[in-house]
Amino acid sequence: MTTIPVEADAPGSPSSRPGRKLVYGWGAVLLVCGITIFGQLDRGIMALLVEPIKADTRFTDTQISLLLGLAYSMTYMCAGLPMARVADTGKRVLLLLLALIVWSSGTLFCGISQNFWQFFVARGVVGAGEAVKGPTTTSLITDQVPREALTRAMGIYNLAVQFGESLALIIGGLLIAFVATLPIYHVPVIGELHSWRLVYLIFAVPGIAYALIFMATVGEPQRRGRKFRKAAPIREVVRFLTRGKEGRVAIPYFVSLCLSSVFLLGAGAWRPSFYERTYHVSPAVFGPFTGTAMLITAPIGVIIGTWIYERLSKRYDDANVRMVIVLDAIMIPFGIAGPLMPNFTLAIASSVFANLILMMGSPARSTIMQLITPNEMRAQVNAVMMFTIGVVGGIGPTVIALITDHVFGDESMLRYSLMIGAAICYPLTVAMFLIARKPFGELNRKAREEEAAMLAQPAGEASTPAV
């Protein structure tokens, strides 16, 4: 099966974009990343509000854990793949716009919920809306910029994710401190407007306002590299991920994603306890310091990583995978030695350096599947990626805890659980990408040649998919 172009216009040109909106290309990428930031804000705020919510509602720890986890992830899982299929065939800008309105409305409903089940449903609405965000956003970004600039665009997207997570902590913390000084107002239907409710309401409004800006400015980009006349059947998506050269890339890629997600999410969840148990340093000390350090190292890592990749890509068709192999290999000694450092300063320094290496590799890692996936199944493949990170990675904290409890039987040995996780994860991810390197290079070279042939067609000459 070969890729058959569907449009004669140069991909990404304004003439190829229906609707004649105001913003194209990099401007649209930035506005799409703005939606990602709002998603991370709405997703992350509840972790800061657990104690105020419990004090007001008398929810148990079990109920809170369900709101944090199951209520969100259940609808996220159910909505992710079906909405990704819609994104592969429909208007992605409209779908992303509606998703933003949905999860912002869910955030609003969290603030006015009167009992556990209302809150549970509201969190589910947030999860359903945000299930659309990842696959649709990455599909849009891929078609907004030229192929050779995709890694740079995905680097900006990765920065938006981390920026949103940081803003949730910073803005959320400031808002909690501010609204705590306000009197408690009584509002009809809602009742007493406690501080945590005000925070939810304040977080919800900007997202709905931003949706109006997004609707007025961003146009639907031209789809590139289509192989099917309409939606790619699910069986074709499964075949793509499991057979031929594509399967030889996808299978090790997703195995590596499972491994890294379980370890990184698990280590991230337990790192505060590690610092406290091992070095007796409180969250009030390491939280602001590490948060600021991560904000500084993230853009530095992305800029350096993108610069290196763009030069490697001129020489190697498999530049993405080469970068990931080298950087993951560098992470092995730091991942193992970091938890064993003799003092807090060296442990923090090791963690900050590891984050720098991680962010250097994030643009190249994020674009591996984007570059070889046909347009009309790209969102569905991205939905599988988001499922892997969110659901499979979600067992990471439990895996680390099980090692601590059942291998060592002593919570003070948490540092060795983190060390074991790194010692298993990083060598295996390197092995997976070594398997994927050759077939990825061949597929990427073929895709480049097909896109070059499409762009070389005379203006006005277009062909249609044969399938």
Domain ranges for the chain, please list them: 18-221, 236-455
Fold of the domain built from segment(s) 18-221? Growth Hormone; Chain: A; (1.20.1250)
Domains 18-221 and 236-455 alike in fold: yes
DSSP label at residue 332: H
Residue pair 162/294 in contact by the 8 Å Cβ criterion: yes
pLDDT of the chain along its 467 residues, tens only? Answer: 333 333 433 444 443 444 444 456 787 788 888 888 888 777 777 766 776 787 788 877 667 767 776 777 778 777 777 777 777 777 888 888 888 888 888 888 988 888 889 999 998 898 888 888 877 887 778 777 777 777 778 778 878 887 877 777 677 777 777 777 777 777 666 666 777 888 888 888 888 888 888 877 777 777 665 555 555 677 777 888 888 888 899 999 999 988 888 888 778 767 767 787 788 876 556 666 776 777 788 889 888 988 898 889 888 888 989 999 999 999 999 889 989 999 988 998 888 888 889 889 888 888 888 888 877 777 778 777 777 776 676 677 777 778 887 888 887 888 998 999 899 999 999 999 999 999 999 988 887 777 677 666 655 554 444 44
Residue pair 456/334 in contact by the 8 Å Cβ criterion: no
**pLDDT at res. 129:** 85
Give the pTM: 0.66
**Partner residues linked to 193 by β-bridges:** 185
Residue pair 344/196 in contact by the 8 Å Cβ criterion: no
Question: Collapsing DSSP states into helix, strand and coil, what is residue 49?
Answer: coil
Fold of the domain built from segment(s) 236-455? Growth Hormone; Chain: A; (1.20.1250)
Closest CA to 154 of 355, 382, 376, 332: 382
**pLDDT at res. 1:** 37
